[in-house]
Structure 1
């Protein structure tokens, strides 16, 4: 079993924590597309553009997935900051909020999710000093997911049920039925997913209908 990091924005972190998100879609890179094309040229799988998506081809496609295979785990990277204990047991409190200090200054015993503030769950006033998700170390992650399914498909192949599994609901997007935003986006989970995708990757990416990894997962019990 392998573990890899995966980035989620705040809305999607909340959807995972609430049990509403059990899928994620990520674009295939040019390198991954070339690997599949090379395999297709020697008969190991069908080309993606052929329309033949039988299980033998999907089995090969899965071998190229950078996030892992069924049974592997991914840990969620999200925006965060270290949180110094308030009891005075961490003498080096100068680290707190200091962007110029290395994480190595944090005592080993405090390198745990419970000594971090995660922005997706923060309900206080806005703070400075947040660390981008890309820079989250493994020890600061509070969410671990087990991969239970991997496949390749076109972005527009997403179904209504899949879009709901992506966490796309009125509640997830902070939209209320009957509002102008809903009227513009439509009333389906797929239309909400499309709006979310465009907000992250841009309108051109949605219109391109790229090949994507569809990664299904379940939360590992006992994580922070």
Structure 2
């Protein structure tokens, strides 16, 4: 009997797709599904000497997590559901990669006066979120998931996020990492490079907010096709 393995879509930027293809990227951090824990205002407001404090998440069963609060008034703030399901699945399940792509439409070809599918001079850029499953060329398998604060990431994990090394000294092993906000400069530490990448993808100053994230580790199962 054939075993069914769930596959879910996950978008990646062009830089991160290149990192996947180069073998640099084996981890991704995401906030989807954790918005209520990162944006809930009430439990952050001190009440007398006490304030709600979200300490960590525990995995109750594969893919299901519970927020653990430290507060004498109860298990969690009133009105906040502490249980969250990981929208990306659980270890052993798969993710098919959505990436920025280009397509050719009959309407665009008529306007440009070119023959569709024969003349590739007319291509429309499309966002990763619109890539259909059948056109995905990269398949990943989840190997581990944690829920942690973004700034708890280690140097090794930051490198696994797919950041690019742009300088290396063989004598000293000193490495310079890409600054994704200021390409003309570089970062000395891998973690700093990753935080510039985070801000580029999510907005200036977002890394400093130190949100809770899913830290998802994976291995690449398949590369197929070429999207031009």
Please indicate the TM-score interval, normalised by the length of the shorter structure: 0.5 to 0.7
Shift of residue 48, structure 1, vs aligned partner: 7.8
CA contact (8 A) 1:58 1:151 kept: no
Say if 1:61 and 1:151, in contact at 8 Å, map to a contact too. Answer: no
| Partner residue of 2:106 out of 71, 75, 95 | 95
Residue 201 and residue 222 in structure 1: after superposition, are their counterparts in 2 closer, same or farther (change >3 A)?
A: closer
Matched positions, count: 173
The residue aligned with 1:90 is none
Cα distance in structure 1, aligned partners of 2:127 and 2:61: 37
Displaced runs of 4 or more, over 2 A = 28-34, 53-60, 94-100, 169-175, 221-224
Structure 1 residues 139 and 96, CA, compared in 2 at 3 Å: closer, same or farther?
farther
What is the match of residue 165 of structure 1? Answer: 160
Q: Higher RCO, 1 or 2 (CA under 8 Å, sep at least 6)? A: 1
User: Which structure shows the bigger proportion of residues in helix conformation?
Assistant: 1
Hey, what's the Cα distance between the residues in 2 that align with 1:180 and 1:133?
A: 27
Distance 2:196 2:30 in 1: 15
Q: How does 1:1-224 map to 2 (within 5 A)?
A: 1-30=5-34, 33=37, 49-51=54-56, 60-61=64-65, 64-82=85-103, 95=106, 128-171=123-166, 181-182=185-186, 186-221=187-222, 223-224=224-225
- Give TM-score, length-normalised by structure 1: 0.64
TM-score (norm 2): 0.63
Could you list the runs of 5+ residues in structure 1 that have no partner in the other structure?
35-46, 84-93, 101-105, 111-116, 118-125
- Indicate the structure with greater strand content: 2
Residues 1:16 and 1:99: Cα distance change in structure 2 (over 3 Å): farther
Q: How far 1:29 moved relative to its partner? A: 3.3
Is residue 58–residue 152 contact of structure 1 (8 Å, CA) maintained in 2? no
RMSD: 3.6
